Structure 1
């Protein structure tokens, strides 16, 4: 019979419970401050519930009653410079952190004297949740997207678990600053089964990040019990498998939570992070709205009553009365004053006429601002002097495309200490899988961050770094198809952040990836990402066709406050073309196309490796076409001055791309061309594109799926035939 030996676990997993000595050590003033914050949050939620019953809250309302005591305990151990984010149920997280930021210290009693800063915090938070202009994001974020940079709240998140990788990026920035500051990310038991959360556990442990995974285990993901979600119902057990010290605590006891957070802080501030803090709490109402869960049949009334009897607010009051610090009258007065505070905020936002309560009309955002803040206005680039290759005064020499990429990145790292690169294998293989990071890991090993195969996690981490604003990530996505693994972070988070938070946030991030069509890597490694990314207006997209343009556009992208996708081509990597030798410090403007070949018969709009292919076909067959290298592909970046001038000359347009039609970029361009220049078109806009299916591995089938010289020639000949 085989011998079995227990494997030791070399990581802490502790249950924390406060004692009377802990209460006394914290002291009366600090406990009164915590109780005051808890009363404000409770009254705030109850006021919101009433507004919701009057139809004045648009969208879901995830109340935090029952979760509020635990978060007050945790936040009492954080300072303004510590950062937090949260999930869709985030009012309590936001308010607890915000009140710590603004509230008077060492409050002996509430005495009905809330500061103007506290009143303004409550008012603006309520306005944001109601979708009104005075809110912190101008009403854009609402209940689920609450952000206040000055208070250290980097944003709550409507995607379950979606903000966890962002918090890891913020923690990476905090760690690099070496100032002993920490990050807390709050999420629920339902998030613990989502891949990006587990990926982030691993990344945070791998990089020793000062990050607290604050798990609110309330027993239900909407109506699904924890036991129906997982065999192991103690969510803090997730940390053990990643080597993360973990703590479990009764979340209905705010002081126990505070004591556990002290232990977490000790680890994090001393460079021994991350840590997991699981708090057992209970939401007193259904997932959304102010109705009890038992009304929907998934909880018993007896269960609800048992938990409500353990209300953390009443628990704190009873304990402080028992210690002789407060009387019941004091506690009642605090509750009444908090209720008055939140009622006054609601009164400032609403008006009652003939018994009907409505939103004050003047507080609604202007509908004309609907599309504002989708992207930067590029004022950060206004100081740059732009130059095209034909006007460049430096030395040009034949250079491999990939060598120019690597050389320029080394130069950029030399001139901008904010930059760092991360991705799979970027630190080895003599510059990563294609050589683009050559020279960086040797000189800046701390700025060349290798990652596990965890695109969801490390892309989100990069987004979190960008959110904090101090460092600028350059993410290498080995193949664009892998972006579908990280789709939530790329499109729900990074692309939407600026607009969602009312323009209060920048997202300076560059994402490099390559089109590998024709290399035999098959359906899941051969995607052209232009069509997908162009659907999300937060992204800027550049696709340089030569090394000179690549360097100029990359230099601009690295200074842009928007996320920029830089598309490269495997076909171009080893091509030798003119590139700068002694000066990589030039810029090419984002949003500019270029006529690379003049002609009269028709206009070709194309990008990346198809530029050279189209020029070769025209030269070989004597075709009089005007070819425009689009260079910037996002909708806002299309250069309609250059495109329009050509169309007005030729009156005939071809949109040329290499990849398949089913996720193509060309449809966007065709629609815009026909809408803008219909009166100048003598013929329908033609498209040259690949087949319906993605390329597969078999060489003849792969070749049949994408566009080469033969398909370009056929398309050009058809355009000539259009003209008789």
Structure 2
């Protein structure tokens, strides 16, 4: 018979239950702030539901009535410099943090509403109504609330989607050594999301001061937590990742407060993340002013039992017992909170008609719709630009991959804000291809090898960029991995600047390499340009020479927008001139380059296909003008250079290597034909790979990708269309 040893987790896991002694010992001013905050939040949420019932809230109204104790109990121990983010149900968390921020000395029970709190309530309500005076100028609404100054990183409509961003802020706190912390709030529905679990693992491995605050309200819309997991004590997740965890009654705000204080001690002394699970109950349905029982998924008796445990009533009762207040004080507080919300709504609504309506002048201007999808590039004012032909100085022949490593070493040497992260970037003499050579030896605290968890580490990079203190450079070993982290890449990083009304920037660089021809098969070899070009917010650069790589990477690292830098494995060992003493020059974003002049056809291409196009045109003797696009995002296409060429040649051939399904040429061809239709002698012609992604078989891989044969065929088609067959 085998012998068994009982194994135990190293992580502490405790349930915290308050006693009468705790309530008697609780600071009176803290209890006053606790009660006032909860009443202001309750009145706020009731007003939101009232307006939603009148059809004045466009979109959802996820109220947190009943859950105020968890938010306020956790916010009161925070410093102003501690940060939070949350999920779609976050009005209470946003207000708990910001009320504490505008009134750091505490809230006055006798006069709970002052000029600052009234301003805060109205501005938050304006955002939920989608108005220009809101924190995100109406773009965020109920689910996307951000006030960076007060420490609110931004709430999130994707379940669990904001958790990796919180890890980025926590990493910045750890690196700064301030003892500040980050709290990421989410519900029972998010606990089983991959990005949440990945981030728990990463935060524990890197000892980040991050609290995973779980509001277990038992229902993900109508799905009961017991149906979703075999371990309904959600704080048990900490046992898997060696994270100390607390389970508390969230209807007892003092219990939450005390657990938060204990968790703060762990995080502030540098011992890594914590988990706090609070059992709470939303008194209403997932969205809107109806109770859950109206939809049949829970009973009226259940709702009644939880309402009898209202956290506002509990705190008031305990304070009355201590003779800190009386019942009249509670009624006065309730009345003043409701008056404050009536006043906030009155400022926003026109009551002159039969039904209340929002004042027309408060809506954002329609002209604001596309503003701040990206920044205005004003950060480039005075930048040192230098194309290779105009560069004054000495050159040396260097491999492309050496230029990649060289410029990153130079930038990290010059800018302590740059942090490089990705799988194996710290080992193997510079990652899998040598692109990060020398970085881990020179900058060990800023060259971070990550677990294999793209959701967590690219999201952490997004949070780090949004925090504003660092400029992350994240590597996807292969571009196909973007699908693993698609929420972070496209829903979070790409949309953040616009979604939050332009409040803040997103200076993140994402590096990846196309490896067609390497035999890695269908899930490693795609060209991501076509996908990223459809995502508002991303800038895309694709350097084809070592010299251009240095200049474009320098530009990417200066840019306040997220920039995808695409490399190609075929170019890594190609040599080209690189300055010997100057790796600080920039090449402008949005500037294409004519590499070969011609009059018969304009060839538009990027990366390795630029060189193949040049070689085929030379071999065939075709009078082709070859343009290296270099910048591929919609905002970065150089229509001045492209247009001048088209008006001269009247024919266009777009050349790319990858699959037609995710083709970049789809966007580019459409734009060319709409902009220059009158100058074209024939439809835009294209060279691209097949429908299928590349296979492992060398023969099938070659057949799936475009190459010299396909370029030659494309040129012949264009010239045949002109009656000039080769």
**Alpha-carbon shift at residue 66 of structure 1 (Å):** 1.1
Which residue of structure 2 lines up, in the alignment, with residue 437 of structure 1?
A: 436
Structure 2 CA distance for aligned equivalents of residues 48 and 342 of structure 1: 9
Task: Tell me the equivalent position of 1:481.
Answer: 480
Q: Does 1:101 align with 2:101?
A: yes
Q: Alignment partner of 2:154: what SS?
A: strand
Cα distance in 2 for residues equivalent to 1:113 and 1:316: 16
Structure 2 counterpart of 1:5: 5
- Matches for 1:142-157 after TM superposition, within 5 Å: 142-157=141-156
Q: Distance in 2 between matches of 1:341 and 1:352?
A: 17
CA distance in 2, matches of 1:21, 1:371: 57
Q: Distance in 1 between matches of 2:120 and 2:23?
A: 28
CA drift of 1:590 comes to: 0.4
Q: Distance in 1 between matches of 2:673 and 2:142?
A: 40
Q: Distance in 1 between matches of 2:106 and 2:374?
A: 43
Structure 2: how far apart are the matches of 1:281 and 1:306?
Answer: 12
Residue equivalent to 2:200? 201
TM-aligned CA deviation for residue 623 of structure 1: 1.2
Q: Return the alpha-carbon distance in structure 2 between the equivalents of residues 523 and 505 of structure 1.
A: 38
Offset at residue 667 of structure 1 (A): 0.8
| Cα deviation code 1:83-109 (max 9, x no counterpart) | 0000000000100000000126244x4
User: Displacement, 1:354?
Assistant: 3.9
Equivalent-residue separation in structure 2 for 1:9 and 1:669 (angstroms) = 55
Aligned to 1:236, what secondary structure does the other structure show? helix
Q: Show the 5 A alignment for 1:377-456.
A: 377-456=376-455
State the Cα deviation string for residues 413-461 of structure 1 (Å, max 9, x = none): 1111100100000011000000000011111111110001000110000
Structure-2 residue corresponding to 1:563 = 562
Q: How far has the Cα of 1:718 moved from its partner?
A: 1.2
How far apart are the structure 2 equivalents of 1:582 and 1:93? 52
In the other structure, the counterpart of 1:363 is 362
Q: Distance in 2 between matches of 1:482 and 1:276?
A: 29
1:86 aligns to what? 86
**Structure 1, residues 191-240: CA drift from partner, whole Å, max 9, x if none?**
00100100000000000000000000011111000110000001100011
CA shift digits 1:480-537 (9 cap, x unpaired) = 0001000000000000000000000200000000001111110000100000000112
Whether the 8 Å CA contact 1:380–1:560 is kept in 2: the answer is yes
**Which deviates more, 506-515 or 25-34?**
25-34
Q: Distance in 1 between matches of 2:475 and 2:517?
A: 21
Distance 2:19 2:454 in 1: 44
For residue 620 of structure 2, what is the aligned residue in structure 1?
Answer: 621
The 5 Å alignment of 1:266-305 reads 266-305=265-304
Q: CA deviation at 1:353?
A: 2.6
Give the distance between the partners of 1:551 and 1:311, measured in 2 at CA.
61
**Distance in 1 (alpha carbons) for counterparts of 2:95 and 2:184:** 14
Structure 1 residue 263 displacement after superposition? 0.4
Spell out, residue by residue over 1:287-311, the C-alpha distance to the aligned partner (whole angstroms, 9 max, x if none).
Answer: 0011010111110111110000000
**C-alpha RMSD over aligned residues:** 0.9
Structure 2 Cα separation of the partners of residues 690 and 451 of structure 1: 33
Contact in 2 for aligned 1:103/1:115 (Cα 8 Å): no
- Contact 1:104 1:115 survives alignment (8 Å): no
How far apart are the structure 1 equivalents of 2:324 and 2:19? 16
Q: Equivalents in 2 of 1:70, 1:255: separation in Å?
A: 9
> Mapping of 1:248-647 within 5 angstroms?
248-647=247-646
Q: Distance in 2 between matches of 1:535 and 1:111?
A: 54
Give 3-state SS (helix, strand or coil) of 1:498's partner.
helix
Match of 2:73 in 1: 73
CA separation of 1:26/1:432 partners in 2, compared to 1, >3 Å: closer, same or farther? Answer: same
Deviation at 1:113, TM superposition (A): 5.5
Q: Distance in 2 between matches of 1:128 and 1:354?
A: 23
Kept in 2, the 8 Å contact 1:614–1:709? The answer is: yes
Other-structure match for 2:45: 45
Deviation at 1:597? 0.5
Secondary structure in structure 2 of the residue aligned to 1:383? coil
SS, match of residue 316 in structure 1: helix
TM-score, normalising length: structure 1 = 0.99
Q: How does 1:684-695 map to 2 (within 5 A)?
A: 684-695=683-694
* SS at structure 2 position matched to 1:595: strand
Q: CA deviation at 1:70?
A: 1.5
**Total equivalences in the alignment:** 723
Alignment of 1:707-718 (within 5 A): 707-718=706-717
1:35 paired with 2:35, answer yes
CA shift, 1:17, in A, is 1.7
Using the TM superposition, give the Cα deviation of residue 408 of structure 1 relative to its aligned residue in structure 2, in angstroms: 1.1
TM-score, normalisation: structure 2 = 0.99
Pairwise CA distance, 1:4: 2.4
Asked whether the equivalents of residues 33 and 105 of structure 1 are also in contact (C-alpha less than 8 Å), the reply is: no
CA distance in 1, matches of 2:552, 2:104: 49
Name the SS for the 1:282 alignment partner: coil
Cα 1:104/1:567, change in 2 over 3 Å: closer
Post-superposition offset of 1:250: 0.2
Structure 1 residue 470: deviation in Å?
0.5
Q: How far has the Cα of 1:112 moved from its partner?
A: 3.6
Residue aligned with 2:686, SS:
strand
- Distance in structure 1 (CA, Å) of the matches to 2:616 and 2:498: 43
- SS of aligned partner of 1:512: strand
Report the Cα distance in structure 1 between the residues aligned to 2:495 and 2:539, rounded to whole angstroms: 12
String of CA shifts for 1:619-647, please: whole Å, max 9, x gaps: 11211100000000000000000000000
The offset of 1:19, in angstroms, is 2.7
Query: Is the CA contact (8 Å cut-off) linking 1:128 and 1:137 kept in structure 2?
Result: yes
Give 1:347 deviation, angstroms.
Answer: 0.8
**C-alpha distance after superposition, 1:544-564 (max 9, x if no partner):** 000100000100100100000
Q: What is the CA distance between 1:648 and its match in structure 2? A: 0.6
Residue of structure 2 equivalent to 1:136: 135
**Is the 2:122–2:344 Cα contact (8 Å) retained in structure 1?**
yes
Show the counterpart of 1:658: 657
Question: How much does 1:399 deviate?
Answer: 1.0
| Distance apart, 1:385 and its partner CA | 2.3
> What residue in structure 2 maps to residue 60 of structure 1?
60
Contact 2:112–2:333, Cα closer than 8 Å, also in 1: no
Give, in angstroms, the shift of residue 33 of structure 1: 1.2
Q: Give 3-state SS (helix, strand or coil) of 2:436's partner.
A: coil
Question: What is the alpha-carbon distance in structure 2 between the residues aligned to residue 314 and residue 383 of structure 1?
Answer: 61
Query: CA distance change for structure 1 residues 391 and 104 in 2, over 3 Å: closer, same or farther?
Result: closer
**8 Å Cα contact 2:657/2:707 also seen in 1:** yes
5 Å-filtered alignment, 1:141-220, equals 141-220=140-219
Alpha-carbon separation, structure 2, partners of 1:148 and 1:443? 36
The answer to whether the 8 A contact 2:74-2:257 is kept is: yes
Contact 1:38 1:68 in 2 (8 A): yes
